[in-house]
Amino acid sequence: MNKLLFLLVAASLWVSAARGAPISRDPYLGAIAIDAHTGNVLFEDGADRPGYPASMLKLMDLFIILDRVQQGSLRLDDMVQVTKEAAEIGGSQVWLDPRERFTVDELLYALMIQSANDAAMALAIHVAGTRDGFVRMMNDKARELGLSPITQFQSPHGLPPGEGQRPDMTTPRDFAKLCQALLAAHPETVKYTAETFRVFRPEKPFEMRTHNGLLGDVPGCDGLKTGWIRDSGYCIAATAQRDGARVIAVVMGSATKQARDAKATELLARGLLDASRAPAPPPASASVAPVAPAAGPAVAADDEAQGEDLPEAVAEEAPESKGGGWLKSLGLVLLGAFLAAVVGMAIQRRLLLGR
C-alpha cells in the first residue's frame, strides 16, 4: 500500500514537472526541525510531502566526496580536469573551461558557496567517471542512510529535468536526516557551508558569494545549503549551534525567499531552546605520581609536584619488612622456654609439699 501511494505521488509530481507546473506554496510546502544530536523532531508540518530539492541536493555531492576523502580513495588536493560536459552545464556556475584544472577542495567551495552547477558536474565525472555513475552513488547513499523511497536523485546539480527526464525528489524529513548524517560523519562540512565569500580562480578572479542569507544574520548559523528552481520554489537546509546544542531546519517549496528564510530563522531559534546539549568533555584526571619504595621518608624539592603521602589503602596492603623476622621467632622460643620452666618449678614445689 505504501509503495502504491509512493508511486501515485511520484507520478503526479513527474507529470507536474513535465508540464512545468510549480509545486510551491505560501508560506511553504513542508518544513521540519530536528535536534542534530539525537534526531528528535522539534517541529514538523508537511515533513513527508514530496518536493524538488533543487541545489540543496549538492549536499549529497559533498557527502559522497568527503566519504571518499575519509576512505583515502580521493584527496582534497587531487586535480580535477574540467570536461566539456561540465563547462556547458549552465545555471549558477563559476565559468569552468575545459582547458582548466582545479583541486577537489577549490571545487567544493564553488559547490557550496556559489552553488556552481559546473563544479558539481566536474566533481561527479572525476569521482565516478560519468554523470550517471555518480547519480547511482547518490541513490545508493540515500538507501544506506535509510531515506524513504520518495528520495530519488536524477542529477548531481538539481537543475530542472530535460525532455523525458524525471526530477530530483525528496522530502523535508529525508533531507533533514541526510544533513544530520553528513554533519555527524564529516564535521568539516561547515568549513565549506559557513563561508560567505571566496575568490575563485585568483589569476582571473571570480568572486563567489553565498546564497544563504541566514549566514551572518542568524547567530550560530554555519550552513548548510539553499536551492531554487521555478518548479520547486525556494528551499533551504539550515543549521545553527549554540551552547552545545545544534538544530537542523529544512524548509521546502516556499513561494518567496523571504517566507523561506523567515520560517527557517524561526525554526532554528525555537529549536535551539529545546534541543539537547552535547555532553561536555570529561575533565582531565589528576595524575598521581608513583611512590618510590624508599627505605625512609624522602624530602622532595617540590612537595606539590611529587604528590601526597602514601594513601592509606596502599599502606595497609604494603608487605612487612623481611628484616627482623628471625628475632621475632627467637623471642617466641625463649618465652615458651621461660613459661615451661615456671610451670615445672610450680609442679616440683607441690610435690615437695605433698610429702
Q: Distance between CA atoms of 199 and 207, rounded to whole angstroms?
A: 5
Question: Can you list the residues of the chain whose pLDDT is less than 70?
Answer: 1-21, 279-355
58 part of the active site: yes
E strands, the chain, where? 30-35, 41-45, 79-81, 101-103, 197-200, 206-209, 221-229, 233-242, 245-254
Q: Which three cell numbers stand for residue 131?
A: 554523470
Residue 178 neighbours by CB under 8 Å, 6+ apart: 59, 60, 63, 142, 145, 147, 170
Domain at 195, CATH number: 3.40.710.10
Q: Which three cell numbers stand for residue 186?
A: 564529516
- Residue 55 in any domain: the answer is yes
Q: pLDDT at position 132, please?
A: 96
CA 230 to chain centre: 32
Q: Distance between CA atoms of 110 and 120, rounded to whole angstroms?
A: 9
The residue annotated as part of the active site, out of 3, 12, 16, 55, is: 55
Count up the domains in the chain and report the number: 1
- Residue 177 in any domain: the answer is yes
Q: pLDDT at position 344, please?
A: 53
Q: pLDDT at position 117, please?
A: 97
- pTM listed for this prediction: 0.75
- Residue 3 in any domain: the answer is no
Q: Which of 321, 115, 137, 127 is nearest to 228 (CA)?
A: 115
At 309-344, the pLDDT tens digits run 333 333 323 333 334 444 444 444 445 555 555 445
> Cis (ω within 30 of 0) for the bond into 224?
yes
SS3 content of the chain, % helix, strand, coil (to 5): 45, 15, 40
- What secondary structure does DSSP assign to 282-321, as a single string? PPPPPPPPPPP--SSPPPPS-HHHH--SPPHHHHHHSPPP
The residue annotated as part of the active site, out of 115, 155, 232, 254, is: 115
HSE (side-chain half, CA atoms, 13 Å) at 103: 10
- Residue 137 in any domain: the answer is yes
- Residue 348 in any domain: the answer is no
- Residue 114 in any domain: the answer is yes
Residue 201 neighbours by CB under 8 Å, 6+ apart: 94, 100, 102
Where in the sequence is the domain holding 214, given as residue range(s)? 21-274
- Residue 133 in any domain: the answer is yes
Q: What is the number of helices (H) and of strands (E) in the chain?
A: 12, 9
55 part of the active site: yes
Q: Which of 108, 90, 10 is nearest to 52 (CA)?
A: 10
Q: What are phi and psi of 53, to 5 degrees?
A: -75, -20
- Residue 170 in any domain: the answer is yes
Q: Which of 150, 127, 133, 139 is nearest to 67 (CA)?
A: 127
Q: Which three cell numbers stand for residue 98?
A: 575545459
The residue annotated as part of the active site, out of 58, 177, 225, 263, is: 58
Please list the residues that pair with 199 across neighbouring strands.
Answer: 207
CB-based contact 236:260 (threshold 8 Å):
yes
